[in-house]
Structure formats: C-alpha cells, structure tokens
Amino acid sequence: MANFNIDAKQDRTYQAIVIGSGISGSWAAKELCEHGVKTLVLERGKDVKHIKDYPTTNMLPYEFEHRGQITEEVRKENPVVSRCYAFREDAQHFFVKDKEHPYVQEKPFDWIRGYQVGGKSLLWARQVQRWSDFDFDGPARDGFAVDWPIRYKDLAPWYSHVEKFAGVSGNKDGLPQLPDGEFLPGYPLNVVEKHFQHQLKKHYGDSRHMILARCAHINGNFDYYAQQGRAKCQSRNLCQRGCPFGGYFSANASTLPWAEKTGNLTLRPDSLVHSIIYDEEKGKATGVRVIDRLSKEMEEFYADVIFVNAAALNTNLILLNSTSNRFPNGLGNDNGLLGKYVAFHNYRAGVSADYEGHLEYTTEGGRPTSGYFPRFRNLEKQETDFLRGYAAGFSANRGPYADQNGIGMELKENILNPDKWGPWRIGSHMMGETIPKESNYVALDNSLKDEWGIPQLKINVDYDDNDEKMIKDYLEQTSEMFEKAGFVNIRTRDDHRAPGLDIHEMGGVRMGKDPATSLLNGDNQLHSVPNVYVTDGASMTSTATQNPSLTYMAFAARAAHHAMKNL
C-alpha cells in the first residue's frame, strides 16, 4: 500500500506545472517542453483542439439561424459578456457565460473570460505592439506604482523570440515609443489612411504618427510556419471562430501543438486549480490542488517549479486562495499588496468622421489589421495636466451601399446592385494608460463561493480624474487632427463603459525591485517563493498603452528559461 501511494504520487509529479493554457501559459509550456522539461499544463475549461473543435469556422452566413446575432434570451441572461464586441452567434461558445462563473462587482467591471484550452488566445484582437522604455521608465519618472525591475533591453531579445515563432506582420517604422521587431511583410494602408499619415507629417512634423498596426498574422516566411502546421492568413476576418489555417497566433494552433510534439507535455483540461501547495519545511511550493470540473473531486499534482498563468484576475484569485501558516493572506503576500494596484486600459472614447476626398477610390479584399496611432502625449517629458498618454486605433473604410427606400422590384434590384457611394468613414478608438492604485483591487469574497467551492472574486476597480482628463484630451486632439486632415462631420463619443471591457486588466501581483512594495522580482518569481513564477497580466507593474499580450508572451518565454537554469 505504501508503495502504491509512492507510485501514485510519482505519477502525479512533473518537473513543471503551468496553470493556464492561454497566451502566456502556452508560451511557458512551449519553452519548457522544447528543452526537455516534463510539464503539466492545467486548464480549467474544456479541451479545444485546433480545427477539430472550431465548430463554426467554415460556416456560411445563412447557416447561422440568427445570421450572427445573439438572441434576446442569451443577451438578457448574460449582460456582461453580451457587451463584448466578439460575443456573437459564431463565437459565443468560447466565452464564459455570466451565470456559470459569478463574481462580485463592488464597482461595475465587465470581466470577459474564455475558459477553454487556448483561453482567450482564440478570441483576441491579435494586435502586437512592443512596449518601450517610455513605458518601463514610466512609474519611476512620473512617481506612481513602483519602478519596473527590468528595462526594454531585458525584454527585447524575448520579443524577437516570440515574434518570430508567433508570426507578426508589420512595417519597420523607426519609432522609439514602438520599437521595431521581427516582422513579416505588412498589410497595405488604404489611400485615405495614407492621406492621414501625410497630413500628420505636414501639420505635426515628426511628433505624431499613424502607422500600420502590427498583428500576429502570417504574411510571409511560409515554409517556416508550415512546420507548425500553419499557413498564410487568408484575411477571412473570422478569427474569433478559430482559424483552420492557423493564420493568426493562438495557443491552440501554435504553442500547444508544438509543446505536445516534444512528448514532454501533459495537457489536462477540466482541471480547476484551487490553490498552490506550500511546504513550510522545504520553504517552497511543491504542487497544486486541482478540482475536476466535472466530478468535483480534488487531486494534487507536484512539481519543482510552478507557473501561474491563469489570466490576470484569476491568477490573483489562485494566489489569494493559496493560504498556509506561512502565508495566511495568500501565497507570497508578505506585504499585503497581493490583489492591489490593478489597472487596465481606458477604451471609453472614440471619434468618427467622414472624408470627402479620394472619392474615386474604394477598397477590395480583406486585411486582418488597421491603422495605429502610437502614443505621443507626455512621451519625452510631462506636458499636460494628466499623467501618461494614449494610443488609438485608426481606420478609413468605404464600400457601396444600396438605396433601401421603396419596396417591390425597385428595392429588390437596388439591394442586389448596391451602387451608392457615400464619403469615406473614418474611425478612431482610444487606448489609454491607467495608473495602478492601491484602491483598485481584487479580493476574495468572505462568503460567496463558486460551484466548486472556490471563493468568488470581488472586483473594485474604477476610473479616476486622470482618466477623465485623458479622455478629454484624446477627444480634443483627435478632433483637431481630423480637422487638419480635412475630415468633416466629426463626432466624438464617450460610452462610459465599465472597466474590464477593454479585456486588458493587469496587475495585482506586480513586479518590482523591493519585496516590501512588490510581489515579483525582475525574473517574475514571487520574492518569497522563488519557484513560483507569474508571467501573465497579473505581473504588470504599469499598463503602457500597447495591447499587452505580446509582452506577456515575452515575459513567459524569458521566465521559463530562467526557471530552467535551476531545474
């Protein structure tokens, strides 16, 4: 019997455990497996195999009963996730429904989640802009949060490493605030986007730019990606369904199958992590407690090193729930800061306009990206009454439409032959940096639990005065730039959306130099439990303005190599 127990324990022992199979967890797993480390990846949701489990990927518009629309019943039952732009009939099965996984909103927070193998990497917007030292220097220069323990040079080789494997299309733009990377050929900007580019140059010199947004899509080097079983992006723009070509980077299409091929990966779906086991004698974490999603039975798994990549807020939840005599307030939480200094991206504002030039032109075909307006505010020095700045998306679109007045044969022929050409439609949306604050926090609810007996997360995150000032500035500056570019009918909006809908929540387990004021060191290890690494959004000290996933991938790959030095 004793031997049996030893065997059973050995069967459940790996060299590394990665909690979470999404964009950052799959990167940690890929690096570890590739270098011979026996790795267990735990995923709380169901398995999603590349292609096989993309049920809607090749469906035609008429095959959707509601032609893509979410039904009223689903919308009413799921007010939070229904606010997400990608929660539609074709991809609703990849999103967490509100009722299935409740949480406590001390203040309104739209928590958008994807519980399945691959996580939200199936659903993301695939924008991959590098951060720069204007971002990593930010907290120290502007006196908020704590100083980042790393700088751009520490991450640059890892950006290159992940860009090359994931496949990033873009142009070398030579902008210090948005460093160039390992790019596959970029997609074209259209004639009006180029016009705007030239107008910015004319009116603002070299201080403001509009460039092609870099995106994680394969647009070159095809033989190399064929090794992953991935092919050229076909510009279907149906990414949220899962891509049968593997045209964009997802864990399911890329890192997970790659890790699997090594023979070192054990992927365990339907495995909710309850907590991390801390051994006081050994002074380190020794494994995790897992609840089977279906049977609800608890089991333990063991490893020398543990990566926590459960997505930013769930990573906080797992650490907060990992209590022991040594860590009564959550694993590694000696300073009481675990769960605090959460921040996000401010997506509240947008500006749209029309352009009545270049009316002889239109566009054809598809592209998986659009224009991008890198941060220009407070870049070299503080120059406004708010801290930090914003980036923005930018695009110009045109297509024919039909006169839909009237009925009968006239209407029928009109809609079959759309031949009206309005002006170009111009759109921009803001992506603002928010300042991490102690008052923006997540914590465990004292009484409410989920279906598996795990405490519910309560979320207390809000905008502040800095965000309001930034919105005002974005609206003013964008309107001014649009006006100078000759755009007309300029409309500004602030939709007052709750935080969370940006799906860029970050922090709570921040990196820093000093164990008294941060949770993680410069290698993403918990200061007081160095065999536990956190490399997802939870580890972010500040948020920058760029879409953060690429940075999580780079941190995950870098930390995996750091961990392997000690295995």
Residues that bind other proteins (CB under 8 A): 58, 60-62, 65-67, 69-73, 187-191, 193-194, 234-238, 360-367, 404, 406-409, 411-413, 415-417, 419, 421
The SS3 of residue 355 is strand
> Tokens in use for 538?
């939870």
CA-closest candidate to residue 111, choices 129, 93, 89, 87: 87
Q: What token pair was written down for 353?
A: 């306009």
Query: Considering the complex, what minimum distance in angstroms separates the CB of residue 50 from other proteins?
Result: 18
Nearest-approach distance from CB 89 to other proteins, in angstroms: 10
Tokens encoding 308: 């926590």
Instruction: Report the nearest approach of other proteins to the CB of residue 70 (Å).
Output: 8
Distance CA 506, CA 311 (A): 9
Comparing CB distances to other proteins, the nearer of 421 and 452 is 421
Question: Which CB atom, from 235 or from 517, has the smaller least distance to other proteins?
Answer: 235
Q: Are 337 and 519 in contact (CB under 8 A)?
A: yes
Please say which residue, 65 or 206, places its beta carbon nearer to other proteins: 65
Contact 275/452 with Cβ under 8 angstroms? no
Task: State how far the Cα of 201 lies from the Cα of 156, in Å rounded to an integer.
Answer: 28
Least Cβ distance, residue 24 to other proteins (angstroms):
30
Minimum separation from the CB atom of position 164 to other proteins (A)? 23
CB-nearer residue toward other proteins: 204 or 421: 421
Give min distance, CB of 87 to other proteins, in A: 14
State how far the alpha carbon of 371 is from the alpha carbons of 124, 217, 299, 334, 562, in Å.
Answer: 17, 15, 48, 44, 36
Q: Nearest to residue 18, comparing CAs of 332, 192, 251, 239?
A: 251
Q: Which is nearer to other proteins, 120 or 126 (CB)?
A: 126
Q: Give the span between the Cα atoms of 435 and 439, in whole angstroms.
A: 11
Q: Which is nearer to other proteins, 43 or 193 (CB)?
A: 193
Q: What is the rounded CA–CA span in Å between residue 18 and residue 535? A: 10
To 10 degrees, the CA torsion angle through 454, 327, 312, 112?
A: 20
Sheet holding 455-460, edge to edge: 104-105, 455-460, 441-449
Q: Which is nearer to other proteins, 72 or 206 (CB)?
A: 72
CA distance 204 to 214: 23
Q: How far is the CB of 243 from other proteins (least distance, A)?
A: 11
Smallest gap, in angstroms, from Cβ of residue 125 to other proteins?
17
| HEC per residue, 260-280 | HHCCCEEEECCEEEEEEEEEC
At closest approach, how far in Å is the CB of 2 from other proteins?
Answer: 57
Closer residue to other proteins (CB): 295 or 417: 417
Q: How far is the CB of 234 from other proteins (least distance, A)?
A: 5
What's 374's DSSP letter? Answer: -
Please report, for residues 245, 273, 322, 398, the alpha-carbon distance to residue 290 in angstroms, rounded to integers and kept in the order given. 34, 4, 12, 52
- Residue closer to other proteins by CB (options 67, 493) is 67
Q: Which is nearer to other proteins, 18 or 243 (CB)?
A: 243
Tokens standing for 528? 């007081």
